Amino acid sequence: MDVIAAIQRRFSVRKYGPYELEDEKLKRVLEAARLAPSARNVQEWRFVVVRDPEMREALVDAANGQQFIGEAPAVIVACAVATEHVMPCGLHCFPIDVAIAMAYMTLAAVEQGLGTCWVGAFNADRVRGLLSIPSDVIVVGLLPIGYPAVEAPPKKRLPLDEIVMQERWRD
């Protein structure tokens, strides 16, 4: 599968089938994150893979009751360990770098026949406490992963000519 096909097939999976997640497929997804670029090659991302059913249920509570998180056979908790570097444009590197790694994992998951859902609605302190994540580590996102139990809905995206401008900003 080429990258564009993976992008076209990707969707936010909120219903997972009752299938085990093979270690080799999970490893390929995590390898995609490892190979992602980061500012100054800091590679500040760290990932906690949660497969234990009771711990996944605890993550459901920490994520505002989003049940699909517990239904997925695994949840990848994406964190950042180096958070002080700011780019000259004024943005912190860690949220961008971790987001790139999560996007790579999402596309690698599609290539493996898996689905994910990027979750940002969670209580970071509760997640940190559940997983014994140190207080100086920032929890950036949750990524449930498994086999989708539903088909992808049609994508609703703006046309290219509404989001791309040539040479200058236009209203």
Among residues 166, 127, 125, 161, the alpha carbon closest in space to that of 143 is found at 127
135 within some domain = yes
pTM, two decimal places: 0.96
Which domain range does residue 29 map to?
3-163
pLDDT digits (tens, 9 = 90+) for 79-101: 999 889 999 999 999 999 999 99
Tally of domains in the chain: 1
pLDDT digits (tens, 9 = 90+) for 26-52: 999 999 999 999 999 999 999 999 999
> Domain of 79: which CATH number?
3.40.109.10
171 within some domain = no
Q: What pLDDT sits at residue 47?
A: 98
CA atoms within 13 A on the CB side of 154: 3
Give the phi and the psi of residue 164 in degrees, each rounded to 5.
-115, 130
169 within some domain = no
119 within some domain = yes
The label of the residue with tokens 């695994």 reads 74
Q: What pLDDT sits at residue 77?
A: 98
- 11 confidence band (pLDDT: 50, 70, 90): very high
The answer to whether 66 and 41 have CB atoms below 8 angstroms apart is no
